[in-house]
Amino acid sequence: MTIIARHYVGLVLFSLGCMVAVTHTVNPCEIHNEESANCSGRNLTKVPKNLPTNLTNLDLSYNSVDATDLENSRRLEALKNLVFLNLSNNHIPTLSPETFTNLKMLEVLDLSNCRIDLLHPRAFEGLVSLKILILNNNRIKDLAPQFLGDMQALSTLDLANNKLSTVSIQLLEKFEGMHEVRLQGNSWICDCTLYPLQRWLKLQPEHREEIQCMFPPELRGINLLNLDLSPVSCLENTKRFPRLAGTETSAFTVTSITNQTSDAPSKEGGKEWQYLVGVLVIAITISALIAIGAKFKLFHKYLSSYSHQLLPEHDASSQDAVSVIMPRSSEMEDIRGRTTFPDLEEDDGYIEDNYIQTEVKAEDEQEMHVSI
């Protein structure tokens, strides 16, 4: 091959490379028949601009696209014909409300491995045609009953490997119309509040999967279906389920446990800190009152002086009373003595003679009356 031919081949290859580079710069996705776009693993942070508006399949997996970003949300809204959307393995910590509102035709949505922490109750509002929703391998701790509000056609829901600890009865009622619900691998707390889920699993043979307990520690790894969580059993075994001690349990009552992750058991220790703080506050208050009372010396002096002034007044009054009463009592005793025991020396005999004469006269009158 001559030198000119080699230079010509090299120029052609360089031109082709430039064309490919320009093409990837303008649209990094692989477009097939104006209906399918493969944008997987392209290190994207934004939804590509120049995607065909009549796309039905879009794969944006293994990128760094945040679907809740305003610009990304607007670009997705423009793809109204989408039937399949794969956003797995992106970074979407929070699903804000109405993220996919305009995607009325969407039937499959994959949001697995997106590190979702918070799922807004209206995050899937508008997805009236959705049939498959994949949310596995995220960090979802709680599900609002209304998060499935518009998804009447939903038949498959994958919530495996999240941080769920319980599920409400309202959601269980919505699960009954679905073909498949995956719930294994969550942080299930196997106490009496999980009885509705256990009952639902027993009544739905097609949904019987191995749901293992995470808490309490003594039940970790045990299949939920192998436990007796009936209300009667729970009332008899409150020691086994300390979270229900002192409360009434109903077969159709589920306690709403929010934001309860693998750190859930540590919440019991929080009460000890509350008691300790209460004791410290009471001790500090009492000490402060004692210190304040000790410093008010004038108050003590006033009390002591008041007590000293009262004593002389009491003594004086008592002395006066004695000085007045004692003479009178002595005089009364003297008078009584004189009246009861008269002194014979001072008696002139008049009273005695008169007394005798009166007795004699009385006897004479009686004799005269007898004789007559």
Give me the percent of the chain exceeding a pLDDT of 90.
35
Q: From CA 261, how far away is CA 187, in angstroms rounded?
A: 7
Is residue 174 assigned to a domain?
no
Greater confidence (33 vs 344) lies with: 33
Residue 63 sits in the same domain as residue 157: yes
Q: From CA 263, how far away is CA 253, in angstroms rounded?
A: 24
Q: Does residue 93 contact residue 115 with C-beta atoms inside 8 Å?
A: yes
Per DSSP, helices labelled H in the chain are 3-26, 70-77, 169-175, 195-203, 231-236, 270-295, 297-340, 350-371
Instruction: Look over the chain and give the mean of its residue pLDDT values, rounded to a whole number.
Output: 74
pLDDT at position 33, please?
A: 87
Judge residue 167's burial from the number of C-beta atoms within 10 Å of its C-beta, 0-12 exposed, 13-18 middle, 19 or more buried: buried
Is residue 57 assigned to a domain?
yes
Residue 130 sits in the same domain as residue 247: no
Amino acid at position 117, single letter: D
pLDDT at position 150, please?
A: 80
Is residue 308 assigned to a domain?
no
8-state DSSP, 205 = G
| pLDDT over 70 at 95, yes or no | yes
Residue 196 sits in the same domain as residue 253: yes
Residue 133 sits in the same domain as residue 189: no
Band (pLDDT 50/70/90 cuts) for residue 317 is very low
Residue 113 sits in the same domain as residue 233: no
Bridge partners, residue 181, by sequence: 157
Q: From CA 46, how far away is CA 64, in angstroms rounded?
A: 8
Q: From CA 85, how far away is CA 110, in angstroms rounded?
A: 6
Amino acid at position 89, single letter: N
pTM of the entire structure? 0.58
| Token pair in block for residue 82 | 């989408």
| pLDDT over 80 at 26, yes or no | no
pLDDT digits (tens, 9 = 90+) for 131-165: 999 999 999 999 998 888 888 899 999 999 999 99
Residue 102 sits in the same domain as residue 52: yes
pLDDT at position 343, please?
A: 47
Residue 190 sits in the same domain as residue 73: no
* Number of domains, the chain: 2
| Bond preceding residue 52 cis, omega within 30 of 0 | no
Residue 240 sits in the same domain as residue 199: yes
pLDDT at position 176, please?
A: 85
Q: From CA 112, how far away is CA 116, in angstroms rounded?
A: 9
pLDDT at position 96, please?
A: 85
Give the residue numbers spanning the domain of 257. 185-271
Give me the percent of the chain exceeding a pLDDT of 70.
60
